[in-house]
Amino acid sequence: MMNNIELAPAYLLLNDLDDAQHLSAALRSQGIVAYFFRHLHEFWYASVKELPSLAIVDVRKMSDGDFLLCAHPAVVRKDLRVVFFYSESTEPLLVSTLEFVHYGLIKKRDKGDATHAHEANEEIVCAYQRYLKVILGRVLQNITLGVEVNKLQREIAQLKKKNGELAENFLRIKEEQGMASSVLKVLKIVNSEHDFRDLTKGKSKGESKSDGKGDLGHFLEVICAVVEQWPRVKFFSISVLHQNQKEIISPRLKHYKYRSLPALPLQKMAIAGIDSKTQDLALEVALGVLEGNCLPLFVYGRMVDPELVIFLSGEDNDHRIPYWNFMEVLCNYCYQRIVVSERMSSPLLQSISINPWQLVGVVDGHLIWNNKKSALLEVDFTALLEVIKDGSCWGFSWEVFIDDLLNSLLKNSNEKFNFSFMGINRLVFLVEDGAATQFMKDLHNTIKSFAYDEYFRDITLSSSLKLGRAGILPEVIKVKSSSSVADFLGTF
C-alpha cells in the first residue's frame, strides 16, 4: 500500500528465477506482492483476468509462438503499465520496445565481486529498489490521475444528466404553462353562464353539434369545447346510460375528434349507474374503435356509479393525457353544474349551492367565507349508497332524494348555510363558526328523522330506524379547521 492506495499485485514475466526472486523482494519492500511467469501465454491469460499494477517483462519474452505482447488487449488500450528488463547481452533487443508506451527500463544486476552470496543478493535488491521507487512513483501518480479522471467523468455524467433533466423540466414547464393557459380559458368560460353559449357556437375547426336534448346535450357540447382546448387529445368517445337504464349508448356528435361507439345492451337494469362490469365491456368496445389507445374518464351524477364515461385517446406514444386529474374534476364539475344542478326544483337551493372550486378556495383560505370564520361539516353517504347499489330488487328515486333532504334541513334549521357536492358520496356544508354546534345538531336530527324508505321503489322498508340499526345512516363529520387542501381533497 502506497500513500493509502492499495496497489494490485505485480506480474513478472522473466526467464531467470533468480531475477524474479530479486525483483520480487524489491517489490515486497514497497508493499507489493509479485507473481512470476515463465511463458507469455500464462502471463497473457492472467493479466486479461486481472490487470496488474505493474508488469516487468524480460525483452526476450515479448513473443511466444502466436502470442505477441504488442497485441495484448491491455497494451492496445494502453492500460498495461510495462517495465522492460534487460541485460548487457540482450540490450540490442530494446529496439523492439520503442513501439510501447512503457514506464521505464531495469538493467539486470550481477553479483559482482561480493564475497558472500547473501551480501550480493542484498546489493542487487537495493539496486532494484532504487529503480522501482521512481517507477512506482509514476505508477501511483498515474493511478491517482486515473481515479481523479474517473471521478470527473462521473461528475460530468451527473451534470449532463442534471442538465438533461433541467432541459426536460424547462420544456415541460413551458408546455404546461401553455396548457394551463388553455385550461384556465376553458375554466373561465365554464364558470360563466353567459359564455357557455359562446363556447358551444362552434366557431373553431372543432365545430361540434349534439343531437342530445336539454341539459345533457348542452353538457356534451361543452365537453367538445373542453376537448378542443385540451392538449394531446387525439380522439374521444362517450358512453352514456340510456334513460331506460337497459343499454349504454354513444351520443351522436359532429366533431372531428369524436368517434362514435356501438350500443351496448345490458342484461339487467342499471339502477345505480354504469357498474364496473359494464365499464369493462364499454372499455373493450372503445379500445377496438380507438385502436387500443384510450383511457376512461368517469363522470358522476347522483347515482353511485358513473352516469357517463368519456374515453380519451392521447397523441403521445405513452398515451398520456396531461393534467388528467384536473380534467376529470372539470368534466364532473361541468356535469354537476349543467345537468345535475338544473334538476334542482327549489330556487333557494340553487342560491345557496356553491361549486367545489369555491369550497376548496375556502379551505385554502383557512375557512374564511364572506369575511367570516366558518366551519365545514361533511355528510358521508357511503354506507347508504352501498345498500342502494347492492340491492337487486329495488330502485331508488335519485333525482328527488337529495333535494328533499336539503329542503327538510332548511325547514329544521334556522342557521344560514351553503352546501356543495364533492362526489356522489359526500355532501359538504359551510356555516359560520359560531353557528356550527347548533347546525350540527339540526343536521343530525334531520338525517335521523328523514324517511329514506320512501325513496326506495318496489320494496317496503319498515322505517328509517331500521336503516339506523343497520348502521347505514349518513354520517356527519366536522372538518378540522387546520386541514390543508391536500388533507381535504384526500378524503374524497
- Are the CB atoms for 413 and 439 separated by under 8 Å? yes
pLDDT score for 317: 59
Q: What single string gives the DSSP state of each residue in 107-166?
A: EPPP-TT-SSHHHHHHHHHHHHHHHHHHHHHHHHHHHHHHHHHHHHHHHHHHHHHHHHHH
Enumerate the H helices of 339-484 as residue ranges: 347-352, 356-364, 382-390, 398-412, 436-449, 464-469
Predicted pLDDT of residue 11: 93
What was the pLDDT predicted at 211? 47
Return d(Cα 63, Cα 86) in angstroms, integer. Answer: 15
What pLDDT, on the 0 to 100 scale, is given for residue 85? 93
Q: Which residues of the chain have pLDDT under 50?
A: 193-194, 197-213, 393, 460-465, 468-469, 485, 491-492
Q: What is the dihedral of CA 264, 267, 273, 276, to 10 degrees?
A: -80
Task: Say how many C-beta atoms besides its own lie within 10 A of residue 310's C-beta.
Answer: 24
Instruction: Give, for 379, the enclosing helix (H) or strand (E).
Output: strand 372-380
DSSP 3-state of 282: helix
Quote the pTM value.
0.41
Confidence at residue 13, expressed as pLDDT on a 0 to 100 scale: 93
Cell of 396: 331508488
* Residue matched to cell numbers 559482482: 112
Kindly list the distances between the CA atom of residue 270 and the CA atoms of 274, 389, 400, 469, in Å, as whole numbers in the listed order: 6, 10, 18, 28
* Distant-in-sequence, close-in-space partners of 40: CB < 8 Å, separation ≥ 6: 13, 61, 62, 63, 64, 67, 69
CA 275 to chain centre: 28
Q: Which residue blocks in 248-335 are alpha helix, DSSP H?
A: 276-289, 324-335
Q: Are 373 and 246 in contact (CB under 8 A)?
A: no
Residues ≥6 apart with Cβ < 8 Å to 299:
306, 307, 308, 309, 310, 331, 332, 335
- What pLDDT is stored for residue 319 in this prediction? 59
Domains of the chain: 10-158 (3.40.50.2300), 191-343 (3.30.450), 347-490 (3.30.70.260)
**Sign (positive or negative) of CA dihedral 381, 387, 392, 397:** negative
Residue 378: CA count within 13 A, CB half-sphere? 18
